[in-house]
Amino acid sequence: MTAPSLPSLGILTSLPALEHPGLLAPPVAAALEAWPHAAAVAVCAIDPEHADTATLAEVHGLGMDTGANCVVVGGRRGEDARIAACLVRADTRADVNGVVRRLLDVRKASFLPREEAVGVSGMEFGGITPVGLPEPWRLLVDARVLTMPVAVIGSGLRRSKLLVPGRLLGELPGAEVVEGLAG
């Protein structure tokens, strides 16, 4: 059996993610070590000033349809805090107050405060990724992400990005593929 080829996109330089743990947040590196599809994941070093999706796309000549954003949303049901990371194509927006709110079964859903998302995830703001999320968080993946040949996602750090075949993102631990998660 041959090893899968590394995904590549535009002018980004693809490196085997497992061989470059310094370009990954610790929880991301640990999760990739345990994930059977990790050999198909590339990491690309970038300027941290280019970490935001629109800037990355512009600087590297990528379309917005190549990125997938991971947003963290929370709500409460009584004393129970419910949190989900939502992975949606960068050219869409998560339906936070519709689909996500209903899936979390909360009265009101909103983006998790930056300090909480960063502190609990162990990842940097602007680099939060669906790989290596904290155990109690749900992972909701918009079905359209799975159709992306290669998705540019966070690495847990602002100074790098992961390139992952879209079809594999539905196979991340705990992933729940949701039709219409984003509009």
> Which CATH number do you get for residue 164?
3.90.960.10
Mean pLDDT throughout 130-150? 97
Interacting residues of 9 by C-beta distance below 8 A, sequence separation 6+? 62, 66, 150, 152, 163
- Residue 10 domain flag: no
Q: What percent of the chain has pLDDT over 90?
A: 93
Q: How far apart are CA 148 and CA 144, in angstroms?
A: 7
Q: Do 103 and 84 form a contact (C-beta atoms < 8 A)?
A: yes
- Residue 160 domain flag: yes
Q: Do 175 and 31 form a contact (C-beta atoms < 8 A)?
A: no
- Residue 183 domain flag: no
Judge whether residue 32 has pLDDT over 90.
Answer: yes
| Nearest CA among 39, 47, 48 for reference residue 17 | 39
- Residue 118 domain flag: yes
- Residue 85 domain flag: yes
Q: Residue 26: its pLDDT value, please?
A: 98
Q: Residue 1: its pLDDT value, please?
A: 46
- Residue 9 domain flag: no
Q: What angle do CA 41, 57, 69 make, to 5 degrees?
A: 60
139 band by pLDDT with thresholds 50, 70 and 90: very high
Q: Residue 4: its pLDDT value, please?
A: 62
DSSP code at position 155: -
Q: What are the φ/ψ torsions at residue 19 (nearest 5 degrees)?
A: -90, 0
pTM, two decimals, is 0.94
**Domain total of the chain:** 1
Q: Residue 2: its pLDDT value, please?
A: 46
Q: Residue 183: its pLDDT value, please?
A: 85
Paired tokens of 55: 């800037």
- Residue 159 domain flag: yes
Structural domain range at position 174: 15-178
- Residue 2 domain flag: no
User: Is beta strand 138-142 parallel, antiparallel or unpaired with respect to 80-89?
Assistant: parallel
Q: How far apart are CA 84 and CA 26, in angstroms?
A: 20
- Tell me the longest C-alpha to C-alpha distance in the chain: 51
